[in-house]
Amino acid sequence: MAGDGDTPGVAEPIGEAECLRLISAGGVGRIAYTGRFGPTVVPVNYALHEGTIVFRTGQHSPMGEDLRTGIENAESKVAFEIDEISPATREGWSILVQGGAHPVDSETERASVMQAGVEPWAGGEKELFVRVVPTRITGRRIRRTGPPAAG
């Protein structure tokens, strides 16, 4: 009987400007990339800096190495997802930033992204700054219009 009696949520697209506003405060997002074991998703702390997503990882962490390997000569395509969902009502929003991941190597760029003040979520040395330069930003908001599901 799955789905029977459930109040369906209404999904509304969110425009790019509103997407950027919603994610401008930073916090926890999820970076998705193709790693050594296939698609991989990991939560990281991020900041929005000059229209790009900035986060930190370890230079020699699996993620750092996977992202670097992928971008030796070409940028690595990644996705970055940020959402705010109420577990109780299942209402909320989700933003998807798709684009290329760039390790920050030059001192000038590093000084710039340091201003974003992004702290690593987990411990350990997180000396590699990664920028995600968006090529596509989409979002959707889910609202429930009726009473919550009985079951």
C-alpha 113/C-alpha 107 separation (Å) is: 10
Alpha-carbon torsion (1, 6, 138, 52), positive or negative: negative
Closest contact distance (angstroms) between CB of 51 and a second copy is 18
Alpha-carbon gap, residue 41 to 63, rounded angstroms:
10
Q: Which residue number, 15 or 117, has a Cβ lying nearer to a second copy?
A: 117
Whichever of 20 and 96 has its CB closer to a second copy, that residue is: 96
State the nearest-atom distance from the C-beta of 135 to a second copy, in Å: 8
Distance CA 102, CA 74 (A): 9
Binding site for a second copy (CB under 8 A): 1-3, 6, 8-11, 27-28, 30, 32-34, 37-43, 45, 56, 77-81, 83, 85, 87, 90, 94, 96, 98, 114, 116-124, 126, 136, 140, 142, 149, 151
Residue 14 Cβ, how far from a second copy at the closest point, in Å? 13
Cβ neighbours, 10 Å, residue 54: 24
